[in-house]
Amino acid sequence: MALNPQNIHVGPARIFVGTSAPASGDPPTWATHTNGLPSDGTDIGFTVNEAVFSWNSGKADINAEQVLGIVDQFITDQNGTLTFEALERNYTLLKMLFDNIGSVDDVTRMGFYGGGGGSVIEIQYTTLFLSSRIRSLTNKYEVLFLYKVVSVEAVPLRWSRTTPSSYAVTLRVLPDTTRDEGDQMFQFSREK
């Protein structure tokens, strides 16, 4: 099998949250950018190591009375996650990961506080735009846009004398039901 090196991707991911979603449709309007930068949103930087988007369509078997065996399958659910390691202590990202608990971001500090009490804490949802330059076509990008994400894992803030204090991020993709059917969770494109 002959390989096309332009189709082998090598490059870091740059991530933005709170970016305006492109118009829905079949196909959707593709997310736009200038040199990998969307027109709005908060830049949370390049990932330290890998950023991994996982997509899964859950399937269930269909058995028939007349046949000993599985005759078909149907999709029971669709789900996606994005995992990456963040290095910068970014207020917007941490606010989302802490699920919108009490927070302050002023000229003297960025701070969070929470825990206890009987109030209902509103879950923090956002959009996510990821771009990664194509190494062999330097003005082209791979772009992943997630229409609605939420933090689903603990926030492991670390402190260390010998290594940068990075923290793992796990985001789950949820359907944005205000969008057209079939275009409610994500879009991925590779520019030519």
pLDDT in tens, 136-165: 888 999 999 999 999 998 888 888 899 888
Exposure class string for 98-127: b at 16+ Cβ within 10 A, else e: bebeeeeeeeeeeebeeeeeeeeeeebebb
20 inside domain: yes
Q: Is residue 86 situated within a structural domain?
A: yes
Q: What's the rounded Cα separation, in Å, for the pair 41 and 128?
A: 9
Question: pTM of the prediction?
Answer: 0.89
pLDDT at 99 > cutoff 90: no
CATH number at residue 96: 2.30.110
pLDDT at 154: 87
Is the residue at 162 inside a domain?
Answer: yes
Tally of domains within the chain = 1
Residues 57-81, mean pLDDT to the nearest whole number: 90
Measured distance CA(81)–CA(152) in Å, rounded: 9
Query: What is the average pLDDT value for the chain, to the nearest integer?
Result: 90
Residue 4 placed within a domain: no
Q: For residue 77, how many other CB atoms are within 10 A of its CB? A: 9
6: pLDDT strictly greater than 80: no
Task: Report angle CA 120, 93, 107 to the nearest 5 degrees.
Answer: 95
Domain assignment present for residue 1? The answer is no
Q: Domain range for residue 50? A: 10-190
For the chain, give the percent of residues with pLDDT over 90.
Answer: 58
In a domain, 170, yes or no: yes
Q: Is residue 42 part of a domain?
A: yes
Contact 138, 29 (CB under 8 A): no
Task: Answer whether residue 2 is part of any domain.
Answer: no
- Cα–Cα distance for residue pair 171/151, rounded to 1 Å: 5
